[in-house]
Each structure stands twice: as structure tokens, then as C-alpha cells.
Amino acid sequence: MALAASSGEKVILITGGSRGIGRATAALAGARGWAVGVNYVGNGDAAARSVAEAEAAGGRAVALKGDVAEERDVIAMFDRITERFGRLDGLVNNAGIVAPPLPLAEMSADRIQHIFEVNTIGPYLCAREAARRLSRSRGGRGGVIVNVSSGAARFGSPGEYVDYAGSKGAIETMTVGLAKELGAEGVRVNCVRPGHIDTEIHASGGRPDRGIKLGAASALGRVGRPAEVAEAIVWLLSDAASYVTGAVLDVMGGR
């Protein structure tokens, strides 16, 4: 049953919200008393845990299954969150994947295409749907888009993930352009660039301890925590960041 959000409650859709940075962001948004849509693609149990953590923290939440690389899934999840909570105030473009480390010369076309479908086309589709719903000229109330990039976009990940790095670099470029495109519509667009963070994505690339090992080389001498990235994301979503748009904020421990 739909229950419209109150005037002081933000409604935030988080893609890739079932694990890592997405889950931490959902919990912190819940602690702010916000309503959260937790997008996931396959692991319903993990999404349910994210929903439970957000609700235990004091917010409301709903799990939203959908593949961000599929246009019809993206449109459907935006429709579902607005049906559930009555409106949308923000998007966290967080969903992303990585593949086992390889030099570019050894990567298949299928691998490269899949990385860009999920990490680049997906966030572009999600940003498009957010722009359609948030823009004042289209009947929206304004709002915020926060994109999640990676330190790989700056350093290139040679010999490992140059496909992943390129897919994230595109997100940073989109952030700058879309911020200028949507400023007059009352929509702020920013980006968080995490460094080595202790999340499950490293295991999906076949190197579960990668973040811990490489994080030791940062200025702070340790791997980052998902909750530390979530703090930056939620700040950018909040009214405290009301004059911040087009920014790419490093959360990299000084790397």
C-alpha cells in the first residue's frame, strides 16, 4: 500500500543497494528518517537485509528488483518507488560490476560490452529517468542525483580493469554535463569517487583481499569502509550541500 512521504522526508532510490556502499547508504538514509528504494538485480535476501537495516535505523524502505542495463527495468523501478512513496527526491547511481583482472589485449568483446552496459549505460538510463521525474519544467520538485565513480577513473587500472576504469570515467563526465543541463531545473548532480573500499566487489573480481592490500598504500594507511563513502553520498543528497553541483568528491584516503 502506498504511503506518501511527509514534507520533511526525502525519497531516495539507490541502485545496487543490496551490498557494500549501497547498503551502507540505505542504512544512513534510514537513520535520517528518509524513505529508500533498494534496487537489486538478483540477490533478494541481500536486498531484504538492506531494507531491514534502513528500517531499523528509523526510515522506510522497499526492495526494487531490476537490471539497470535494461531500460524497461529502469523505468519500472522508478515507477514503483513513486507509486510506493508518492514522489522521488533523489537518485544514488551506485550499481556497478567488475570482472577478473586482465590486460585489455586479453579481454573479450562480451566482457567489455557487459561492463559498459551495467556501469555506464545503466547509470545514464537511471539519470535520464531521474531527470524526467525531478525537473521542474516536467512537473517535478527538483532534487539530487549522486553518481558513484571510482578511483580507477583517475588512475586507469592498467593491467587489471581498464574497461571498468573507462566505464567510471564516463560517469564523471556525465556528472559535469548533467549538472549544467539540470541546474535551472532545480536538480543538483554530483559524484563521489571512492578509493579502495572494503566491499564485496573485490571478491566478484576474484581478489577478495585487494581493497585491504591496496588501501594500505593510501595516505591514511588503511582500506576505506562503506559507511565512510555513505557519509559523503548522504551529505550530497542533503540540503546541507544545497550549493554544490557538478562536483566530484574524492573519498580515497588521500591516495
75-108 tens-digit pLDDT: 999 999 999 999 999 999 999 999 999 999 999 9
CB 113 within 8 A of CB 167: no
CB 6 within 8 A of CB 30: no
- pLDDT number for residue 255: 83
Percent of the chain with pLDDT over 90: 88
Selection from 9, 2, 1, 3 nearest residue 239 by Cα: 9
Beta bridge partners of 91: 13, 145
Q: 11-251 has which CATH code? A: 3.40.50.720
134-143 tens-digit pLDDT: 999 999 999 9
- pLDDT number for residue 111: 98
Q: Among all residues, which ones are annotated catalytic?
A: 164
**Which residues fall within 8 angstroms of residue 24, CB to CB, at 6 or more apart?**
225, 226, 227, 229, 230
Whole-number mean pLDDT of the chain?
A: 94
Sign of CA dihedral 78, 143, 195, 232: negative
pLDDT at residue 38 above 70?
yes
The whole-number average pLDDT for the span 169-178 is 98
CB 190 within 8 A of CB 175: yes
Q: At what angle do helices 71-85 and 122-134 cross, to 10 degrees?
A: 40
194-209 tens-digit pLDDT: 999 998 764 555 566 6
- pLDDT number for residue 49: 97
pLDDT at residue 154 above 50?
yes
CA distances from 55 to 48, 59, 73, 116, 130 (A): 11, 5, 25, 33, 24
Local structure of residue 221 (DSSP, 8 states)? S
- pLDDT number for residue 211: 61
234-244 tens-digit pLDDT: 999 999 999 99
- pLDDT number for residue 253: 94
- pLDDT number for residue 122: 98
